[in-house]
Amino acid sequence: MRLSQFHLHTSKEVPAEAEIISHKLMLKAGMIRKLASGLYTWTPLGLRVLRKVERVVREEMDAAGAIEMLMPAVQPRELWEETGRWEKFGGQLLKIQDRKEAWYCYGPTHEEVITDFARQELASYKQLPACFYQIQTKFRDEIRPRFGVMRAREFLMKDAYSFHLDDADLDRQYEVMHEAYNRIFTRLGLEFRAVFADTGAIGGSASHEFHVLAASGEDAIAFSDASGYAANVELAEALAPGSRAAAGENMTRVETPYQRTCEAVAELLKVGLERTVKSVAVIGEQGFVLALVRGDHQINEIKLAKLPGLADYRMATEVEILENLGTEPGFIGPVKPLKRVHVIADRSVAAMTDFVLGANEKGFHLAGVNWGRDLPEPDAVADIRNVVAGDPSPDGSGRLQIARGIEVGHIFQLGRTYAAAMDCTVQDANGKAVTPTMGCYGVGVSRIVAAAIEQNHDANGIVWPEAMAPWQVVICIINPKKDPAVVVAAEALHRQLLGMGIEAAMDDRGLRPGAMFADMELIGIPHRIVVSERGIVAGTFEYRHRLAEASENIGLEALLMRIG
């Protein structure tokens, strides 16, 4: 590739809206451009990287025996009614109408579509196990899209779905996928942890999340390197026998001014209701505001503006709030003053915003609340657990460390929930109709690009792991317009590298060396070769690895050794 004929568009400016390094660098390097909130164009440069990730994912899925297919992004409402998710999925589901006013959604995930496919295609146990995957664009109307492609609304996911006759076979496939995921993230050169995750509302039997470790990660994970135990913090809390969660003293009460709690709630709402707050009940003596509790407890009018510390915060509509909180409209009841404050939120946000959440009485809040253990009723906060670094690992070996992670993959044993809801059966060996059990396996293909940058950068820009670099090598030509000989030499080297199967770009744009090198460092090319008149005279190339302190002048043979 000649960069003079490629669209490279770097900039020195750090865009104001970019909060984390990967977002900044992706914009500066010109990998992505924002179209609207959570919607990004992948530029030619960005797309090269995205395709690298995609290729590794595809190869490992193929190797794991999954079969590639492609399902529509737009999905009819009727399918989602079958599983009840048309309502239950909440505000993340983008609902759209066609010209006949029939409803569709833009798929945030494809369990319904694949189960519909399976019930039509799979008739006999002889066709099982079956495992399909696709690499496809999803849309989730995230309450707070941010960090560029890290939490976008439209994003690229690899999603796979498997069908099995029995649980043992699902276990087997789950292990195969788990291993495939390990290989994907290892090949991509990422430092990651696979952690046990809560199977939550869907009620499957096993689940793991794959997290790329990074300080900016939105999730907290707990792990013990001594034993290899790892879980996301919510689950670690639920499992930890020796933690403060021990029965009877599973609640930490800390005195805090009521005002402070209200500010905390305000902060939470700003940080991102959707991923953090599972349940909120705030109403106090001072006459305000917002209540939402699970079960039979009501939600009153939402008047956040009256909450101290919320003067500048405006919440849109009650319906939106409901959707954001992921509850069902049926829970709205008459306004009834509550005296309690309950906020059940993701701990990672607690850490981010530097407060702990929830007060069950005026003047108190709970430390280490756990969203997984909801409130059965407003007066009793049951089963609040707490895990901190240094706690014994639940498997009894080593102590827990807590780190921040970016969720880049998630595998899940779904069980028979979807197949049963959608009447998907196959005939077993005796000709009896049986419901297959399912697994689902997601990878955030586009998120991986951002996560990799979070982990691999320096003051000069991105430092791509080899497998993700847009090109492995760049040949920088000094003064191409003045000096035909350097162009000839560079072209010969370029041809040679391409012939060896090495992805090489040639920077023939004619920039000053300083500007050219800065660009190549910013976009993170691992190997840089400079071809100059001086080098030609000396019979050497100037070579520098992206992470090397200095460049070296070496002959062709040594050069090929360095990059080969």
Residues that bind ligand ATP (CB under 6 A): 109, 140, 142, 151-152, 155, 157, 275, 407-410, 442, 444, 446-447
CA-to-CA distance for 34 and 24, rounded, in angstroms?
Answer: 12
Terminal Cα-to-Cα distance of the chain (whole angstroms): 18
Q: Which of the listed partners (Mg ion, ligand ATP, none) does 408 bind, with a CB threshold of 5 to 8 Å by partner kind?
A: ligand ATP
DSSP H or E segment with residue 544: strand 541-545
Q: Report the residue number, 391 or 407, with the smaller CB distance to Mg ion.
A: 407
Six token digits for residue 521: 């460092």
Per DSSP, which regions of 445-535 are E strands? 457-458, 461-462, 473-477, 504-507, 527-531
Q: Which of the listed partners (Mg ion, ligand ATP, none) does 409 bind, with a CB threshold of 5 to 8 Å by partner kind?
A: ligand ATP
Residue 410 near Mg ion by CB under 5 A: yes
Strand partners for 399: 392
Residue 90's φ and ψ, nearest 5 degrees, are 85, -160
Q: How far is the CB of 407 from ligand ATP (least distance, A)?
A: 4
Q: Which of the listed partners (ligand ATP, Mg ion, none) does 157 bind, with a CB threshold of 5 to 8 Å by partner kind?
A: ligand ATP
Residue nearest to Mg ion (CB): 410
Residue 28 near Mg ion by CB under 5 A: no
Q: How far is the CB of 151 from ligand ATP (least distance, A)?
A: 5
Q: How far is the CB of 147 from ligand ATP (least distance, A)?
A: 9
Q: Which of the listed partners (Mg ion, ligand ATP, none) does 546 bind, with a CB threshold of 5 to 8 Å by partner kind?
A: none
Q: Report the residue number, 300 or 446, with the smaller CB distance to ligand ATP.
A: 446
Q: Which residues contact 275 (CB under 8 A, 6 or more apart)?
A: 143, 144, 218, 346, 349
Q: How far is the CB of 347 from ligand ATP (least distance, A)?
A: 13
Residue 208 near Mg ion by CB under 5 A: no
3-class DSSP state for residue 238? helix
Q: How far is the CB of 410 from Mg ion (least distance, A)?
A: 4
3-class DSSP state for residue 395? coil
Q: Report the residue number, 197 or 522, with the smaller CB distance to ligand ATP.
A: 197
**Residue 334, preceding peptide bond in cis (omega within 30° of 0):** no
Q: Report the residue number, 144 or 362, with the smaller CB distance to ligand ATP.
A: 144
Q: Report the residue number, 107 or 378, with the smaller CB distance to ligand ATP.
A: 107
Q: How far is the CB of 558 from ligand ATP (least distance, A)?
A: 41
Q: How far is the CB of 322 from ligand ATP (least distance, A)?
A: 19
Residue nearest to ligand ATP (CB): 444
Q: Which of the listed partners (Mg ion, ligand ATP, none) does 155 bind, with a CB threshold of 5 to 8 Å by partner kind?
A: ligand ATP
CA-to-CA distance for 397 and 285, rounded, in angstroms?
Answer: 48
Six token digits for residue 306: 């009256």
Six token digits for residue 9: 């568009």
Q: Report the residue number, 407 or 542, with the smaller CB distance to ligand ATP.
A: 407
Six token digits for residue 242: 């020796």
Do the Cβ atoms of 48 and 63 come closer than 8 Å? no
Q: How many CB atoms lie within 10 A of CB 487?
A: 17
Q: How far is the CB of 230 from Mg ion (least distance, A)?
A: 15
Six token digits for residue 275: 């991923």
Chain residues binding Mg ion by CB under 5 A are 407, 410
